[in-house]
Structure 1
Amino acid sequence: MVAKKIRDMKHNKSPGVDGIPPKLLLEIVEQISIPLATVFNLLLEEGVASLEWKEANIIPLFKKGSRNKSDNYRPVSLTSVICKLLERLIIDYLVNFLVKNYLINPSQHGFLKAR
Protein backbone atom coordinates (compact mmCIF):
# COMPACT_ATOMS: atom_id res chain seq x y z
CA MET A 1 0.00 0.00 0.00
CA VAL A 2 2.85 2.38 0.85
CA ALA A 3 4.62 1.74 -2.46
CA LYS A 4 1.38 2.27 -4.41
CA LYS A 5 0.70 5.56 -2.61
CA ILE A 6 4.24 6.77 -3.31
CA ARG A 7 3.79 5.98 -7.00
CA ASP A 8 0.43 7.78 -7.04
CA MET A 9 1.79 10.97 -5.44
CA LYS A 10 2.32 14.15 -7.42
CA HIS A 11 6.08 14.18 -7.77
CA ASN A 12 6.52 17.81 -8.81
CA LYS A 13 5.45 19.16 -5.40
CA SER A 14 7.73 21.04 -3.01
CA PRO A 15 9.43 19.30 -0.10
CA GLY A 16 8.33 20.04 3.43
CA VAL A 17 10.35 21.03 6.48
CA ASP A 18 12.36 17.80 6.30
CA GLY A 19 13.59 18.67 2.80
CA ILE A 20 12.55 15.32 1.31
CA PRO A 21 10.99 15.86 -2.14
CA PRO A 22 8.33 13.45 -3.44
CA LYS A 23 10.52 12.67 -6.45
CA LEU A 24 13.18 11.18 -4.17
CA LEU A 25 10.62 8.81 -2.63
CA LEU A 26 9.62 7.68 -6.12
CA GLU A 27 13.25 6.98 -7.04
CA ILE A 28 13.77 4.77 -3.97
CA VAL A 29 10.24 3.38 -3.64
CA GLU A 30 11.37 -0.27 -3.67
CA GLN A 31 13.89 0.31 -0.87
CA ILE A 32 11.82 2.66 1.30
CA SER A 33 8.28 1.26 1.21
CA ILE A 34 8.75 -1.63 3.69
CA PRO A 35 10.72 0.43 6.25
CA LEU A 36 8.15 3.24 5.97
CA ALA A 37 5.29 0.78 6.45
CA THR A 38 7.02 -0.52 9.58
CA VAL A 39 7.48 2.99 10.97
CA PHE A 40 3.88 3.92 10.11
CA ASN A 41 2.55 0.82 11.90
CA LEU A 42 4.65 1.56 15.00
CA LEU A 43 3.46 5.17 15.05
CA LEU A 44 -0.17 4.07 14.76
CA GLU A 45 0.26 1.47 17.53
CA GLU A 46 1.88 4.04 19.83
CA GLY A 47 -0.56 6.79 18.88
CA VAL A 48 2.15 9.41 18.53
CA ALA A 49 3.55 11.41 15.64
CA SER A 50 6.98 12.88 15.15
CA LEU A 51 7.27 16.48 16.35
CA GLU A 52 8.94 17.37 13.05
CA TRP A 53 5.78 16.29 11.23
CA LYS A 54 3.83 18.93 13.11
CA GLU A 55 6.09 21.69 11.75
CA ALA A 56 5.47 23.48 8.46
CA ASN A 57 7.07 26.09 6.27
CA ILE A 58 4.49 28.77 5.51
CA ILE A 59 4.94 30.46 2.16
CA PRO A 60 2.81 33.14 0.51
CA LEU A 61 1.10 32.05 -2.72
CA PHE A 62 -0.03 34.77 -5.11
CA LYS A 63 -3.76 34.75 -5.92
CA LYS A 64 -4.59 37.68 -8.20
CA GLY A 65 -4.34 41.44 -8.55
CA SER A 66 -1.34 43.53 -7.62
CA ARG A 67 1.67 41.64 -6.35
CA ASN A 68 2.46 44.65 -4.14
CA LYS A 69 -0.55 44.10 -1.85
CA SER A 70 -0.30 41.46 0.86
CA ASP A 71 -4.07 40.85 0.60
CA ASN A 72 -3.46 39.20 -2.77
CA TYR A 73 -1.54 36.30 -1.25
CA ARG A 74 -2.70 33.28 0.69
CA PRO A 75 -0.60 31.19 3.07
CA VAL A 76 0.39 27.68 2.05
CA SER A 77 1.80 25.18 4.55
CA LEU A 78 4.58 22.95 3.29
CA THR A 79 4.52 19.92 5.57
CA SER A 80 6.50 16.69 5.45
CA VAL A 81 5.81 14.57 2.37
CA ILE A 82 6.16 11.41 4.46
CA CYS A 83 3.58 12.71 6.93
CA LYS A 84 1.21 13.48 4.05
CA LEU A 85 1.75 9.93 2.80
CA LEU A 86 0.69 8.50 6.17
CA GLU A 87 -2.32 10.83 6.29
CA ARG A 88 -3.39 9.69 2.82
CA LEU A 89 -3.12 6.02 3.84
CA ILE A 90 -5.23 6.64 6.95
CA ILE A 91 -7.86 8.59 5.01
CA ASP A 92 -8.15 5.88 2.36
CA TYR A 93 -8.48 3.17 5.00
CA LEU A 94 -11.12 5.08 6.97
CA VAL A 95 -13.19 6.02 3.94
CA ASN A 96 -13.05 2.43 2.67
CA PHE A 97 -14.17 1.16 6.08
CA LEU A 98 -17.02 3.67 6.29
CA VAL A 99 -18.26 2.91 2.78
CA LYS A 100 -18.07 -0.88 3.19
CA ASN A 101 -19.99 -0.75 6.47
CA TYR A 102 -22.62 1.64 5.12
CA LEU A 103 -21.69 4.32 7.65
CA ILE A 104 -21.71 7.08 5.05
CA ASN A 105 -25.04 8.31 3.78
CA PRO A 106 -25.58 7.43 0.09
CA SER A 107 -26.33 11.08 -0.62
CA GLN A 108 -22.82 12.04 0.55
CA HIS A 109 -20.83 13.03 -2.54
CA GLY A 110 -18.08 15.35 -1.34
CA PHE A 111 -14.60 13.86 -0.97
CA LEU A 112 -15.66 10.43 -2.20
CA LYS A 113 -14.33 8.85 -5.38
CA ALA A 114 -16.71 8.27 -8.29
CA ARG A 115 -19.49 10.40 -6.80
Structure 2
Amino acid sequence: MKDNKSPGVDEIPPKLLLEIVEQISIPLATVFNLSLEEGIVPLEWKEATIIPLFKKGSSNKSENYRPMSLTLVICKLLERLIKDHLVEFLVKNKFIKPSQHGFLKARSCLTNMLCFWKMSQSG
Protein backbone atom coordinates (compact mmCIF):
# COMPACT_ATOMS: atom_id res chain seq x y z
CA MET A 1 0.00 0.00 0.00
CA LYS A 2 1.40 3.38 -0.98
CA ASP A 3 1.28 5.99 1.76
CA ASN A 4 0.78 8.94 -0.60
CA LYS A 5 -2.66 7.91 -1.89
CA SER A 6 -5.78 9.92 -1.13
CA PRO A 7 -8.05 8.84 1.70
CA GLY A 8 -11.63 7.80 1.07
CA VAL A 9 -14.88 8.97 2.64
CA ASP A 10 -13.59 8.05 6.13
CA GLU A 11 -10.65 10.45 5.60
CA ILE A 12 -8.19 7.90 7.01
CA PRO A 13 -4.95 8.34 5.05
CA PRO A 14 -2.91 5.26 4.07
CA LYS A 15 0.08 6.68 5.94
CA LEU A 16 -1.81 6.38 9.25
CA LEU A 17 -2.83 2.79 8.47
CA LEU A 18 0.79 1.92 7.69
CA GLU A 19 1.90 3.40 11.00
CA ILE A 20 -0.58 1.25 12.99
CA VAL A 21 -0.44 -1.87 10.82
CA GLU A 22 0.72 -4.10 13.68
CA GLN A 23 -2.24 -3.08 15.84
CA ILE A 24 -4.90 -3.42 13.12
CA SER A 25 -3.71 -6.40 11.05
CA ILE A 26 -5.51 -9.10 13.09
CA PRO A 27 -8.82 -7.20 13.40
CA LEU A 28 -8.65 -6.31 9.68
CA ALA A 29 -7.97 -9.92 8.73
CA THR A 30 -11.00 -10.94 10.81
CA VAL A 31 -13.24 -8.41 9.05
CA PHE A 32 -11.85 -9.37 5.61
CA ASN A 33 -12.37 -13.10 6.23
CA LEU A 34 -15.90 -12.54 7.54
CA SER A 35 -16.74 -10.42 4.51
CA LEU A 36 -15.41 -13.09 2.15
CA GLU A 37 -17.12 -15.97 3.98
CA GLU A 38 -20.51 -14.25 4.04
CA GLY A 39 -20.16 -12.62 0.62
CA ILE A 40 -21.14 -9.26 2.07
CA VAL A 41 -19.29 -5.99 1.73
CA PRO A 42 -20.01 -3.41 4.44
CA LEU A 43 -22.18 -0.58 3.07
CA GLU A 44 -19.61 2.00 4.15
CA TRP A 45 -17.08 0.37 1.82
CA LYS A 46 -19.34 1.08 -1.15
CA GLU A 47 -19.35 4.82 -0.55
CA ALA A 48 -16.97 7.10 -2.42
CA THR A 49 -16.09 10.73 -2.75
CA ILE A 50 -16.19 11.75 -6.43
CA ILE A 51 -13.70 14.40 -7.49
CA PRO A 52 -12.96 15.86 -10.92
CA LEU A 53 -9.54 14.87 -12.25
CA PHE A 54 -8.06 17.10 -14.95
CA LYS A 55 -7.03 15.25 -18.14
CA LYS A 56 -5.76 17.76 -20.69
CA GLY A 57 -6.66 20.88 -22.62
CA SER A 58 -8.37 23.91 -21.17
CA SER A 59 -9.14 23.69 -17.47
CA ASN A 60 -12.23 25.84 -18.10
CA LYS A 61 -14.05 23.05 -19.99
CA SER A 62 -15.83 20.32 -18.04
CA GLU A 63 -15.17 17.72 -20.77
CA ASN A 64 -11.46 17.94 -19.93
CA TYR A 65 -12.08 16.32 -16.56
CA ARG A 66 -12.94 12.76 -15.64
CA PRO A 67 -14.60 11.63 -12.45
CA MET A 68 -12.42 9.85 -9.91
CA SER A 69 -13.86 7.85 -7.03
CA LEU A 70 -12.00 7.98 -3.74
CA THR A 71 -12.97 4.78 -1.95
CA LEU A 72 -11.84 3.58 1.47
CA VAL A 73 -8.20 2.53 1.64
CA ILE A 74 -9.21 -0.58 3.62
CA CYS A 75 -11.59 -1.63 0.83
CA LYS A 76 -8.85 -1.07 -1.77
CA LEU A 77 -6.55 -3.26 0.31
CA LEU A 78 -9.06 -6.13 0.29
CA GLU A 79 -9.56 -5.69 -3.47
CA ARG A 80 -5.78 -5.89 -4.01
CA LEU A 81 -5.51 -9.06 -1.89
CA ILE A 82 -8.31 -10.73 -3.85
CA LYS A 83 -6.79 -9.70 -7.20
CA ASP A 84 -3.32 -10.92 -6.22
CA HIS A 85 -4.63 -14.32 -5.07
CA LEU A 86 -6.82 -14.69 -8.14
CA VAL A 87 -4.00 -13.88 -10.57
CA GLU A 88 -1.63 -16.19 -8.67
CA PHE A 89 -4.18 -19.02 -8.93
CA LEU A 90 -4.77 -18.41 -12.65
CA VAL A 91 -1.03 -18.33 -13.45
CA LYS A 92 -0.20 -21.35 -11.27
CA ASN A 93 -2.96 -23.44 -12.86
CA LYS A 94 -2.01 -22.27 -16.36
CA PHE A 95 -5.33 -20.53 -17.07
CA ILE A 96 -3.34 -17.54 -18.31
CA LYS A 97 -1.22 -18.18 -21.36
CA PRO A 98 2.44 -17.07 -21.43
CA SER A 99 1.48 -14.73 -24.28
CA GLN A 100 -0.72 -12.69 -21.91
CA HIS A 101 0.94 -9.39 -21.08
CA GLY A 102 -1.71 -7.03 -19.70
CA PHE A 103 -2.43 -6.91 -15.96
CA LEU A 104 0.50 -9.13 -14.98
CA LYS A 105 3.58 -8.14 -13.01
CA ALA A 106 6.64 -7.39 -15.14
CA ARG A 107 4.51 -7.52 -18.28
CA SER A 108 3.01 -4.65 -20.18
CA CYS A 109 2.15 -3.36 -23.64
CA LEU A 110 5.88 -2.74 -24.08
CA THR A 111 6.88 -6.34 -23.28
CA ASN A 112 4.11 -7.56 -25.59
CA MET A 113 5.43 -5.37 -28.40
CA LEU A 114 9.02 -6.52 -27.82
CA CYS A 115 7.98 -10.21 -27.93
CA PHE A 116 5.99 -9.59 -31.11
CA TRP A 117 8.92 -7.72 -32.68
CA LYS A 118 11.35 -10.52 -31.71
CA MET A 119 9.06 -13.17 -33.24
CA SER A 120 8.65 -11.15 -36.44
CA GLN A 121 12.42 -10.75 -36.79
CA SER A 122 13.10 -14.48 -36.39
CA GLY A 123 10.54 -15.57 -38.98
Q: Which residue among 16, 22, 26 is the counterpart of 2:8?
A: 16
Corresponding residue of 1:77: 69
Give secondary structure in 1 for the equivalent of 2:76: helix
Normalising to structure 1: TM-score of the pair?
0.89
Structure 2 residue 82 is the aligned partner of structure 1 residue 86: no
Corresponding residue of 1:65: 57
Partners of 1:60 and 1:114 in 2: CA distance: 31
Mark the structure with the bigger radius of gyration. Answer: 2
Runs (4+) off by over 2 Å: none
The amino acid across from 1:93 in the alignment is H
Q: How does 1:1-115 map to 2 (within 5 A)?
A: 9-115=1-107
CA RMSD of aligned residues (A): 0.9
Give secondary structure in 2 for the equivalent of 1:58: strand
Normalising to structure 2: TM-score of the pair?
0.83
Bigger RCO of structures 1 and 2 (CA < 8 A, at least 6 apart): 1
Partners of 1:63 and 1:109 in 2: CA distance: 26
